Chains A and B, each alone.
Chain A
């Protein structure tokens, strides 16, 4: 049983917690399986697309991003992605100038809207990409978000 099945079977982390407690599983074993380290280590848009299984990505106006143009603080930048591409089952958020490009990778089964809002950290002013997988292909939209010095500065 891999971790994803364990999560589903247990309806939560009960099974894993038990396995951890019993010493059957080490934390690394459990998490490495379901966390795409290679993708989260990438340092460019193209490499991330590749690591997520795409041969490339084309720009699409059917992906809508709601973000501020200027973020008062880079520690918390709200990002909403909504896809109008049919069969959208995956939405990822990428930040070009962060030390690691990939921020989040959401899997949205049938019945779940192709829509997600979260908040990301931005090291500096950068392009933010919404990457969408639809029908086996990758599409993206981009938006530049300016990170400013807030408060009293310095």
Chain B
């Protein structure tokens, strides 16, 4: 009992006497200026243009383009489609995000196998990723529109509940969950602001900026990559591309982001 009391005392000592952060405002102002200076030319435009070209290009065993792909608003409708994803699709009877839906179209329209379609999801230096460019193009075609995924079908609601559990699921050698970094307001990791993803104001600002050009990676990155990269940092094994968990988590976040404006493609650190 005495040891416990000592412990409690020590904890109080640690957390009550923290020193205010030094020069925080100066550093943060400069980082904001850095981001403003970058904003006048977003290299994601290059991926967007390439993606539009690829959308219209006949590819795969069936030598077909993606121009008949149904992204939720009917075959071939690109404009506004991203603002209504993720959603449940009758033909697959699954909730799908943009990238998972692109895989479906590459399989059904172009004749790729599912493995082929999922093989090269993220570009690397010297190796482009068509699906990354196409996702950037499709997302960009909803730019300025209100983000309003339906989130009413029973499978969408189920995906939300699963996503919520996954968001708080702590595991691995570091005990991390998504909520470790994205569960509170006003936090940052190193100099990077961390949005509280269950706060609509913050979720609306960030969720709709993906895909985004990441200067640290020299490439456009999609939401699938964002999640893959988070799990990498969380000391988990690699998250499967367009896996259930990746989509359920997006449904969970999309609910809080609803009502925001699509600002894709973004530009980030």
* A contact residues around B37 at 8 Å (CB): 66-68, 78, 80
* B contact residues around A21 at 8 Å (CB): none
* A contact residues around B27 at 8 Å (CB): 70
Nearest residue, chain B, Cβ from A148: B191
> Chain A interface: which of B28-36, B88-96, B203-211?
B28-36
User: In the complex the two chains form, what is the Cα distance from A78 to B37 in whole Å?
Assistant: 6
* CB of B127 within 8 Å of the partner chain: no
* CB of B189 within 8 Å of the partner chain: yes
User: Which of A66, A67, A70 is B31 in contact with, Cβ under 8 Å?
Assistant: A70
* A contact residues around B30 at 8 Å (CB): 68-70
* A contact residues around B61 at 8 Å (CB): none
* CB of B192 within 8 Å of the partner chain: yes
User: Which of B33, B34, B269 is A151 in contact with, Cβ under 8 Å?
Assistant: B269
Evaluate whether A71 and B34 lie within 8 angstroms (CB atoms) in the complex, with A150-B216, A152-B233 already known: yes
* B contact residues around A42 at 8 Å (CB): none
Tell me the chain B residues, 10-36 only, with Cβ under 8 Å from chain A: 27, 30-31, 33-35
* CB of A111 within 8 Å of the partner chain: no
Q: On chain B, which size bracket covers the interface? A: 10 to 19
Evaluate whether A153 and B190 lie within 8 angstroms (CB atoms) in the complex, with A70-B34, A72-B34, A72-B269 already known: yes
Evaluate whether A68 and B216 lie within 8 angstroms (CB atoms) in the complex, with A148-B190, A151-B190 already known: no
* CB of B76 within 8 Å of the partner chain: no
Closest approach, in angstroms, between the C-beta of A152 and any C-beta of chain B? 5
* B contact residues around A148 at 8 Å (CB): 190-191
Q: Is the CB of A76 within 8 A of B38?
A: yes
* B contact residues around A150 at 8 Å (CB): 190-192, 216, 269
Q: Is the CB of B216 within 8 A of A73?
A: yes
* A contact residues around B233 at 8 Å (CB): 152
* B contact residues around A119 at 8 Å (CB): 38
Closest approach, in angstroms, between the C-beta of A66 and any C-beta of chain B? 7
Q: Which 8 residue pairs are nearest across A and B when measured between Cβ atoms?
A: A68-B34, A76-B215, A78-B37, A70-B30, A69-B30, A73-B216, A150-B269, A152-B233
What are 5 A-to-B residue pairs whose CB atoms are below 8 Å?
A: A67-B37, A72-B31, A72-B34, A72-B215, A73-B216
